[in-house]
Amino acid sequence: MHAIAHLATLTPLAVAAALQAEPATAEAASGVLGQQIVTGLSNGMIIALIAIGYTMVYGIIELINFAHGDLCTLGAFFALMLVGALGMEAWSGVAGMAGVVLLLAGAAAFCALFNWSIDRVVYRPLRSAPKLTLLVSAIGCSFVLVNLALFWGGLPMEVFGGGVAAAAPKDFPAMVPDSSLLPDAWDSWVSAEAFLRSSPSWNDPSVWWLTWAPRVALAVLVKSRELNFTTSDLLVWCVTLPLMVALTGLVRCTRLGKAMRAVAQNPTAASLMGIDVDRVIGAAFLIGGALGGFASVIYALYNNTISFQMGYRTGMDAFTAAVLGGIGSMPGAVVGGLLIGVARAISDGYIEARWTNSVVFAILIATLVFRPSGLLGAKLRDKV
């Protein structure tokens, strides 16, 4: 009770301070943490989306599909080619939104088919081979895809800078504006604040219990006004969250999902029950590839740069996320991805950028020491 009373006397002060401070100084500095978390979550969602691709394939055939990150690179190149071929850079408004949907659908279809073909051509003939053979072929696939992207970037198209420098980072047009959304939302709260201030109970300390909740809400809003939550952040969240929910639904509630879980548990028994194992595995590659395709477009629209090495690097982060969350576990991949995204942002913001990779791997090591199977992983089996 005493604590609450204490809080009540503090909050008006905090609100007053926050409202009066120069935007560039005190308020901005305290707003940085929230900003870093927003940035970290957005980055983390992209990582998580790719991590699901790793973890899904691993869950079913115990293969770390190293080519998955590079598949995303190809997805991004495909998207950029679509942008160039259809002249999407000039699309705006509704057409721009339709363009984004088209890119998402196009890249997802492309990556799904490509991933399925990789499985069909490379991994399927090796189904009964030792796990290490499969792993080495995955690394080989990764190299092939990187070089394919290098070749692709050298095509003489305007969006690739005329193809003069194949390996140069490519600018991906900002089809989703980077403008902040929150100041607009804030404006509608200004009138609410004026209304509150004019009410007699606001300035009457004896009825603090009536006003402390609005005061806290107001303080949070003042802080959030400083946040730079942009349309591209919104895009990342709006594409990623429903995809994760849909995927969980698919695995939990559909026949295909049931078949996948069965194959993951025991392929032989599953095939004895009449499940077409190859088809189920093919479906996993199809879905994982589609997610990779979505991730590649989100990545491209969020960062506005793609390069032939982007997938390798982001793939590393995603793979780390999958291991951190417990490889084979889809919720684990999501948690791992978000955790790594936020940890990176916090480390960049409060430690130093050059320590960021060390921080991420320190978290990974610390987690694996205490939970060898990852945060949400199943019990440990012999794995590659």
Q: Which residues bind other proteins (CB under 8 A)?
A: 24-25, 28-29, 31-32, 35-36, 39-40, 42-43, 46, 146-147, 150, 161, 164-171, 173-174, 178, 180, 228, 230, 232, 299, 302-305, 307-310, 313-314, 317, 344-346, 348-349, 352-354, 356-357
User: What is the token pair recorded at 193?
Assistant: 């604040």
What token pair was written down for 23? 């935007």
Minimum CB distance to other proteins, residue 80 (Å): 12
Which is nearer to other proteins, 111 or 281 (by Cβ)?
Answer: 111
Tell me the residue type at 321.
A
Decide whether 46 or 251 has the Cβ nearer to other proteins: 46
For residue 284, count CB atoms less than 10 angstroms from its CB and return exposed for 0-12, middle for 13-18, buried for 19 or more. buried
CB of 220 to other proteins, least distance (A): 19
Min CB(226)–other proteins separation in Å: 10
- Rounded CA-CA distance 33/40 in Å is 10
Residue 109 in contact with residue 290, Cβ under 8 Å? yes
Cβ distance to other proteins smaller for residue 39 or 367: 39
Number of C-alpha atoms within 13 angstroms, CB side, residue 180? 14
Shortest Cβ 213–other proteins spacing (Å): 29
Task: Please say which residue, 32 or 109, places its beta carbon nearer to other proteins.
Answer: 32
Closest to other proteins by CB, 266 or 305: 305
Least gap, CB of 369 to other proteins (angstroms): 25
Least distance in angstroms from the C-beta of 9 to other proteins = 29
- Dihedral sign of CA atoms 158, 163, 165, 168 in order: positive
Helices (DSSP H) in the chain: which residue ranges?
Answer: 2-20, 28-61, 67-86, 93-118, 131-153, 182-198, 208-226, 231-253, 255-265, 267-272, 277-303, 310-325, 330-350, 356-370
Whether 61 and 129 have beta carbons less than 8 Å apart is answered as no
- Residue closer to other proteins by CB (options 231, 248) is 231
Residues 284 and 334: their CA atoms lie apart, in Å, by 17
- Which residues neighbour 33 within 8 Å (Cβ) at sequence distance 6 or greater? 349
End-to-end CA distance of the chain: 56
Of 15 and 346, which has the nearer Cβ to other proteins? Answer: 346
Nearest to 103 by CA among 86, 115, 119: 86
Residue 90 vs 174, nearer CB to other proteins: 174
- Our measurement of the distance from residue 149's CA atom to the centroid of its chain's CA atoms, rounded to an integer in Å, reads 22
Nearest approach, Cβ of residue 335 and other proteins (Å): 20
Nearest approach, Cβ of residue 344 and other proteins (Å): 7
